[in-house]
Chain A
Amino acid sequence: MSAVPANAAAEPVLVVRDLAKSFGGVHAVQGVSFSVEAGQMLALIGPNGAGKTTCFNMLGGQLQPDRGAVLLSGKPITGLKPRVVWRLGVGRTFQITATFTSMTVRENVQMALISHERGLWNPFAPARARHVAEADALLAQVGMSEQADRACGVLAYGDLKRVELAVALANRPKLLLMDEPTAGMAPRERIELMALAARIAVERNIAVLFTEHDMDVVFAHADRVIVLDRGRLIAEGTAEEVRQDANVRAVYLGSGAASGGH
Chain B
Amino acid sequence: MFDLILTQSLNGLASASSLFLVASGLSIIFGVTRIVNFAHGSLYMLGAYLAVTLVNALGPASGLGFWGGVLLAALLVGLVGLVIEVTVLRRIYQAPELFQLLATFGIVLMIQDIALASWGAEDRLGPRAPGFKSFVILFGNRFPTYELLLIAIGPVVLALLWLLFQKTRWGVLVRAATQDREMVGALGVNQRLLFTSVFAFGAGLAGLGGALQLPREAVTLHMDLAMISEAFVVVVVGGLGSVGGAYLAAVLIGILHAFGILIFPKITLVLVFLVMAVVLVIKPYGLLGRRPVGQTRGPTAEPLLTPADRATKLAGLVALLLLVIAPLVTPDYLLLTLTELVIFALFAASLHFMMGPGGMASFGHAAYFGLGAYGAALAVKWLGAPMEPALVFAPFLAGIAGLVFGWFCVRLSGVYLAMLTLAFAQIAWATAFQWVDLTGGDNGILGVWPSGWAVSKTAFYYLALMACGVAVLALRFAIFSPLGYALRAARDNPLRAEAIGIDVMRVQWVAFTVAAFAAGIAGALFAFFKGSVFPTYMAIPRSVDALLMVLLGGVQTVSGPIVGAFAYAGLSEQLTKLTMYWRFALGLAIVLLVVLFPRGLVGGFLALRERRLATEGA
Chain A: residues with CB nearer than 8 A to chain B?
A: 60, 62, 81-83, 86-87, 92, 94, 98-104, 107, 110-112, 114-116, 119-128, 130, 151, 153-154, 167, 170-171
Contacts and interface: CB of A to CB of B under 8 A. Distances in A.
A111 B499 contact: no
B320 to A, nearest CB: 20
22 contacts: A60-B499, A62-B498, A62-B499, A82-B498, A83-B500, A83-B502, A86-B499, A86-B500, A94-B496, A98-B495, A100-B488, A100-B492, A101-B493, A102-B301, A102-B302, A102-B556, A121-B482, A127-B482, A127-B484, A151-B301, A151-B304, A171-B500
Contacts of A119: 482
A111 B498 contact: no
Contacts of A120: 482-483, 486, 501-502, 507
B502 A115 contact: yes
A130 B485 CA distance: 12
Contact of A112 (B299, B480, B500): B500
Contacts of A111: 485-486, 489, 500, 502
Contacts of A122: 481-483
A100 B496 contact: yes
A125 B492 CA distance: 22
B307 interface: yes
10 tightest A-B CB contacts, nearest first = A153-B301, A98-B496, A102-B302, A100-B492, A127-B485, A115-B501, A112-B500, A82-B498, A101-B301, A83-B501
Contacts of A153: 301-304
Interface in B480-519: 480-486, 488-489, 491-493, 495-503, 507
B163 interface: no
Contact of B500 (A104, A127, A167): A167
B477 interface: yes
Interface in B294-331: 299-305, 307
A162 B482 CA distance: 23
Most buried by B among A110, A119, A123: A123
Contacts, number: 119
B482 A116 contact: no
A103 B500 contact: no
Most buried by B among A81, A126, A170, A171: A126
A127 B497 CA distance: 16
A123 B299 CA distance: 26
A118 B186 CA distance: 46
Interface in B372-403: none
Contacts of A167: 496, 500
Interface residues of B, number: 33
A123 B477 contact: yes
A92 B499 contact: yes
B496 A128 contact: no
Contacts of B495: 62, 94, 98
Contacts of B489: 100, 103, 111
B478 interface: yes
Contact of A87 (B304, B496, B497, B501): B501
A86 B495 CA distance: 12
Contact of A123 (B307, B483, B496): B483
B307 A99 contact: no
A235 B484 CA distance: 47
A102 B488 contact: yes
Contacts of A60: 499
A102 B304 contact: yes
B595 to A, nearest CB: 25
B499 A83 contact: yes
Contacts of A125: 481-482
A13 B507 CA distance: 31
A126 B496 contact: no
A254 to B, nearest CB: 30
A62 B488 CA distance: 21
Contact of A101 (B478, B480, B485, B492): B492
Contacts of A128: 307, 480
B398 to A, nearest CB: 19
A18 to B, nearest CB: 25
A67 B154 CA distance: 48
A103 B480 CA distance: 11
A114 B472 CA distance: 25
Contacts of B480: 126-128
A14 to B, nearest CB: 16
A114 B498 contact: no
Contact of B498 (A83, A99, A112, A124): A83
B501 A171 contact: yes
A4 B512 CA distance: 53
Most buried by A among B304, B478, B483, B497: B304
Nearest to B478: A123
B483 A126 contact: no
A126 B304 contact: no
Contacts of B482: 114, 119-123, 125, 127, 130
Contacts of A123: 477-478, 481-483
A124 B483 CA distance: 9
B500 A115 contact: yes
Contact of B486 (A115, A124, A170): A115
Nearest to B485: A127
B493 A98 contact: yes
Contacts of B556: 102
Nearest to A84: B501
